[in-house]
Amino acid sequence: MTFGRRLQAARQAYGPLCVGIDPHSSVLEEWGVGDSVEGLERFAEVCVEAFAGQVGLVKPQSAFFERFGSRGVAVLEWLLQEFRHTGTLTVLDVKRGDIGSTAAAYAAAYLDDDAPMAADAVTVSPFLGFGSLEPFFAEADRNDAGVFVLALTSNPEGPEFQHANAGDGRTVAGSVLAQLAALNASSAPLGSFGAVVGATIGETSEDLAIDGPLLVPGFGAQGGTVDDLRRLFGAVWEQVVPSSSRGILNAGRDPAALRASAQQVNAQLVSS
């Protein structure tokens, strides 16, 4: 099955929430496991127990594993492998972006089904030109994986580039969204190439109907609410995948409490 079809199935089975797995130093300390590789290992074990087969998607942030060096990357590899074939899809948040053979190498590292860090989808940056992402799209096609492209992010520095004129009457963000829509045009019921659109961007006049998923960070502890999601994405609600990290992880290191927190948020999203 394509990533788009698997995402739709996971969303229907568990709800739209994507749980961000961000082992920030403060989270490790709050959990009482310690800001160390050993603490990272315990954190990963708890997350697998809490969320595998219980939520539709998880989004590990690679940087929080990489900061521990090779041992941290090994924990990330283990985490990704443990989620495979559980019904929970993995979106590896690496925001890579490069050109040519280097982009192809990044794509193979994360999207080749036989790679040690294989994920169901990956986040990428288009700001070396949308065409530079072709190796990611091609690798995703070969492996029935997905790609989420930064389009309208919530950080205050984003508009400097994302709202700039692309030269054809569209903004850079609008151009990214339009090109994603073109890639997804022949896919049904949902394409595999999505956009990252922040929950706290306020308002937008961009066309978000890209026939692919919309990964929406900034929901929960970062300020985005269910009302914000409905206001911004009401017309494309079935494509929205809200992502929350601290809002879920603040439940602590007990797997049952974490699972209950995620299920409560999913219930709010489904009933809204």
Which H or E run contains 146? strand 146-152
Picking from 150, 143, 243, 140, the residue whose alpha carbon sits closest to that of residue 184 is 140
Distances (CA, A) of 231 to 28, 65, 190, 226, 251: 34, 34, 22, 9, 27
Distance CA 223, CA 77 (A): 31
Per the annotation, the verdict on 95 as an active-site residue is yes
Is there a contact between 65 and 23 (Cβ–Cβ < 8 Å)?
yes
From the list 24, 84, 95, 246, the catalytic residue is: 95
On the CB side of 184, CA atoms within 13 Å amount to 29
Which two structure tokens, joined as six digits, stand for 69? 């060096």
Q: Answer for the pair 7, 190: CB distance below 8 angstroms, yes or no.
A: yes
Quick one: 246 exposed, middle or buried, by C-beta within 10 A (0-12, 13-18, 19+)?
middle
219's tokens: 């929901």
Say if residues 149 and 126 touch (Cβ distance below 8 Å). Answer: yes
The amino acid at residue 215 is L
Active-site annotation, residues: 95
